[in-house]
Amino acid sequence: MDKHIITRDFMDLQVHICRELELGDGIGSFQEDKWERVEGGGGRTRIFKNGKIIEKGGVAFSAVEGPTPEKILNKLKLKKADFFATGVSIVIHPYSPMVPIIHMNIRYFEMSNGVRWFGGGIDLTPHYVDLEDAKHFHQEVKKTCDLFNKDYYPKFKKWADDYFYIKHRNETRGIGGIFFDRLDSKDPIEMNSIFEFVKSIGYLFPNVYRHFMAKNHALPYSDSEKKWQSIRRGRYVEFNLVWDAGTKFGLDTNGRTESILMSMPPTANWEYMHQTIENSKEAKTLLYLKKDIDWVSL
């Protein structure tokens, strides 16, 4: 597995995703910010500006290398060696509370002692759970997984349910998706298949999100729904800052803070002891923020 090929393909994917999101929004565009890491490597962070549908969006590419920090060695139980890591990470926050937040990340990690693996995932965080949308999203993710391995979707869906869980709130961040890490093989053919699977998740991203952008952005909403969106954005912040391993990895490897925290929403709200109204859309949404829901069979 050639890290230079992986890096090139991830860069190409970033370009493709940005182009598709610009087409889906119709007005906004990405501005690029290239940066270098003192210890080695760098990246290019693209931030969405002046959108019609997208209020804040980031599509970040990075390829960093150097001595592996002790924190990472201890956490991942690795022997001391230099590391190389590259990936594409995306979070989109829409203006409308009827359009979901979406996150996607794919990454490759290797060390000079031969350790290597792929990781990543895609998950959807609607402000209001729409069962038709949830089913569509999971069907599309399953369809992509099944092209490579029939075991991928049930295994990685469960992993996502457990990973994207806000433990201190006893609720999932959204309706999940898939999450996977440390995918590796000593067989070059199988390793290449893993690489193609990882890229396929990246190319799936703009297809599914443009569907939700087109379908939901013109739906009417009120001030109360914007308030709920802000509260749900607060939950998103809580997960990313308290539980997300990617945020911790970036900060522990002296990554670029602005790029790491691009996933934060433009605004969020925390209301003390907030309570939903019984049988409201908000209360019904909370009922679906649970693990192990079979979205495909709804």
Structural tokens at position 87: 């990936």
Contact 10, 85 (CB under 8 A): no
Structural tokens at position 176: 């999940």
- Cα–Cα distance for residue pair 158/176, rounded to 1 Å: 9
78: Cβ contacts below 8 Å, ≥ 6 apart: 68, 72, 111, 115
- Cα–Cα distance for residue pair 277/191, rounded to 1 Å: 50
DSSP character at residue 262: G
Distances (CA, A) of 120 to 104, 107, 131, 133, 165: 7, 6, 25, 22, 16
Q: How many angstroms from the chain centroid is the CA of residue 180? A: 12
103 an active-site residue? yes
- Cα–Cα distance for residue pair 222/63, rounded to 1 Å: 42
Half-sphere exposure of 66 (CA within 13 A, CB side): 16
Contact 235, 243 (CB under 8 A): no
Q: Which of 4, 16, 93, 103 is catalytic?
A: 103
Q: How many residues does the chain have?
A: 298
Supply the residues annotated as catalytic. Answer: 103
